[in-house]
């Protein structure tokens, strides 16, 4: 999640403007749409789970954490929109703090989605294993470890994030790396931990789940497969451009000379970084579509009943066998 531009300690002057008007406009548009769509959506998910879903299964708890992390990221967007249109007026300390919170929440969101993928793999492929208390304890510990790891991986932001004036306009969009080696290390760590490893785990889990669902033919398998594919696709579309840009920067940094500190397009960096925020607004839309396509016939908000059904079926796995797990699989996998 290298959402910022780069400036090395030895070179503080940019050879070109930090962003073009096109990059500014596109980035602000992405951020504005993400805020308008994602903030109310995630807030609604939190309210529904907190108010209407009791008791909460582990799957529901993961969804609650994911919605909270996404909401915390999205509520910072008005600051960035103002900054893109005008300038950063909140100081460097607040710049480091806000960016650190965003990184922690974004790492947390990615790891939570990965953890949900692993949990659904266990529930579908090993339905008896989910009944043991030891498995539940491992899942609880994994949730805590997720946030601890996210907090640790966000530390490089505190060490490198800074404000910079370009053409008299101060922005919280820059990194001050002490060396090329440090820059390569941080960006590589970010790409591996923030995309390559989670995407690999999710892909393996979903392929194994798909194989299991295909072997056990039941009526809801088509809907489950479509929803699983849409989540993986949404994750890829939101994050892949950003990490491709990271890889391009790495290749460029290795081959550049001391006289040429520019590396890649600043506008593309901003646009790819803004697209990452879209991932925080996608999940409520997917939940709404899943609820709309469900067979619930009770009046009221379908999404409320949807989460209640998810909680009931995932909780039921603690004391049921393969048949009950298979019948619940349609709704359980639909949450992911």
In this structure, the strands spanning 5-8 and 169-177 are parallel
Does residue 131 have a pLDDT over 70? no
CB distance 227 to 267 below 8 Å: no
For the chain, the average pLDDT equals 75
> Which tens digits make up the pLDDT trace of 59-76?
788 888 999 999 999 999
Asked if the model's pLDDT at residue 177 lies above 90, the reply is no
Flag whether pLDDT at 57 surpasses 50: yes
Q: Is the pLDDT of residue 283 over 90?
A: no
Q: Is the pLDDT of residue 321 over 50?
A: no
Question: Residue 296: pLDDT above 70?
Answer: no
- The class that CATH gives domain 5-334 is mainly alpha
Q: Is pLDDT of 317 > 80?
A: no
In Å, the largest CA–CA distance within the chain is 68
> How do residues 249-282 score in pLDDT, each as one tens digit?
888 877 765 445 555 566 677 777 778 888 888 8
Q: Are 67 and 116 in contact (CB under 8 A)?
A: no
- The pLDDT value recorded for residue 264 is 57
Residue 5 has pLDDT above 60, yes or no: no
Q: Is a pLDDT exceeding 50 seen at residue 331?
A: no
In this model, does residue 4 exceed pLDDT 70?
no
Q: In this model, does residue 146 exceed pLDDT 50?
A: yes
pLDDT of residue 13: 30
Residue 94 has pLDDT above 90, yes or no: yes
How sure is the predictor about 107, in pLDDT bands with cuts at 50, 70 and 90? very high
| pLDDT given for residue 327 in this prediction | 41
pLDDT above 70: residue 108: yes
Q: What is the pLDDT of residue 76?
A: 93
pLDDT-derived band at 123, boundaries 50, 70, 90: confident
51, pLDDT greater than 50: yes
Which has more confidence, 329 or 279? Answer: 279
pTM: 0.79
Checking if the pLDDT of 226 tops 60, the result is yes
Say what percent of the chain tops pLDDT 70. 66
Question: Is 318's pLDDT higher than 50?
Answer: no
pLDDT tens-digit series, residues 299-310: 345 566 655 565
């Amino acid at each position: 999640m290298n959402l910022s531009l780069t400036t090395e300690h030895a070179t503080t002057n940019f050879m070109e403007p930090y962003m073009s008007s096109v990059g500014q406009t596109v980035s602000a548009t992405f951020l504005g749409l993400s805020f308008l769509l994602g903030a109310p959506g995630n807030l609604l998910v939190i309210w529904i789970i907190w108010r209407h879903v009791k008791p909460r299964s582990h799957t529901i708890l993961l969804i609650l954490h994911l919605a909270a992390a996404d909401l915390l990221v999205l509520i910072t967007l008005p600051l960035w929109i103002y900054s893109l249109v005008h300038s950063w007026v909140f100081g460097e300390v607040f710049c480091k703090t806000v960016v650190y919170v965003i990184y922690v929440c974004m790492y947390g969101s990615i790891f939570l989605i990965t953890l949900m993928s692993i949990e659904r793999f266990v529930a579908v492929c090993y339905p008896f294993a989910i009944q043991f208390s030891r498995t539940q304890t491992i899942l609880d510990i994994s949730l805590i470890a997720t946030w601890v790891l996210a907090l640790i991986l966000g530390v490089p932001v505190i060490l490198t994030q800074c404000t910079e004036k370009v053409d008299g306009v101060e922005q919280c969009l820059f990194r001050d790396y002490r060396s090329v080696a440090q820059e390569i290390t941080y960006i590589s760590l970010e790409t591996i931990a923030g995309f390559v490893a989670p995407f690999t785990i999710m892909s393996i889990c979903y392929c194994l789940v798909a194989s299991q669902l295909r072997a056990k033919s039941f009526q809801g398998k088509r809907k489950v497969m479509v929803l699983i594919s849409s989540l993986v696709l949404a994750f890829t579309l939101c994050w892949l451009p950003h990490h491709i840009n990271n890889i391009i920067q790495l290749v460029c940094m290795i081959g550049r000379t001391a006289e040429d500190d520019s590396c890649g397009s600043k506008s593309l960096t901003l646009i790819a970084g803004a697209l990452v925020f879209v991932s925080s607004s996608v999940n409520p839309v997917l939940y709404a579509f899943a609820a709309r396509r469900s067979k619930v016939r009770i009046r009221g908000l379908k999404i409320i009943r949807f989460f209640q059904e998810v909680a009931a079926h995932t909780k039921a796995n603690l004391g049921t066998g393969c048949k009950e797990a298979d019948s619940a699989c349609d709704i359980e996998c639909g949450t992911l």
